[in-house]
Amino acid sequence: MAKTAVKVKKASSSVKRSIQPKGKAKKTRVAKAPVVRRYKCLYCNYIYSPLRGEPHNGIPEGTEFDDLPDTYVCPICGYEGKGKIGTWGFEEWKPTKYICSMCGYIYDEARGEPHHGIKPGTKFDDLPDDYRCPVCALDPKITKFFGKVLKQGFDAIDVV
Ligand SMILES: [Zn+2]
Ligand SMILES: [Zn+2]
């Protein structure tokens, strides 16, 4: 639909509105992306991530740990019969390794990707927005069917 979408309002009072440029407006990125705060159950090592939430438990994705209901209990501990571990049984957890959900490649912050100009010690959150999985990038099948595997395609993992 390329019809003119500008509706001219004939208001009696003269309202000065800045007109939004149509079409390709440049998206200005505001500072940094919000930091994802994950929490780990100290009893079973289950990790709560706001990126994922627990939709099957009625917790929509995007729910911060701080916003969990008072009745929240660790789903794994409950399942394994360890009792009801509430939010008190969790502590903030900062992952240092991330796995590509597509190919299993692991980005290790300690290692970085020096051959791609990413220094050792570079936080995953600090990777450029156009960072893509280097392994998937080399796989024509994945590129063809899934496109570029960007940061969003990675999951934090808890391995030593
Ligand atoms: Zn647990
Ligand atoms: Zn990959």
Give the C-alpha separation, 29 to 39, whole Å: 27
Closest CA to 131 of 98, 93, 95: 98
Measured in angstroms, how far is the CA atom of residue 131 from the centroid of ligand 2? 11
**How far apart, in whole angstroms, are the C-alpha atoms of residue 37 and residue 49?**
7
> What pLDDT is recorded for position 18?
52
Report residues near ion ligand 1: CB below 5 Å: 41, 43-44, 46, 74, 76-77, 85
Instruction: Say how far residue 31 (Cα) sits from the centre of its chain.
Output: 16
- For residue 44, count other CB atoms closer than 10 A to its CB: 17
How far, in Å, CA of 74 to CA of 91, rounded?
A: 12
pLDDT in tens, 61-77: 999 999 999 999 999 99
In angstroms, what is the span from residue 144 Cα to ligand 1's centroid? 39
CA of 117 to the centre of ligand 2 (A): 18
Q: Find the range with the poorest average confidence among 10-14, 65-69, 124-128, 135-139.
A: 10-14
Ligand 2 center to 9 CA (angstroms): 51
Chain centroid offset of residue 35 CA:
9
Sequence-ordered alpha helix ranges (H) in 34-160: 75-79, 134-138, 140-146
User: If you average pLDDT over residues 7-24, what whole number do you get?
Assistant: 50
Identify the residue with better confidence: 5 or 122.
122
pTM of the model: 0.60
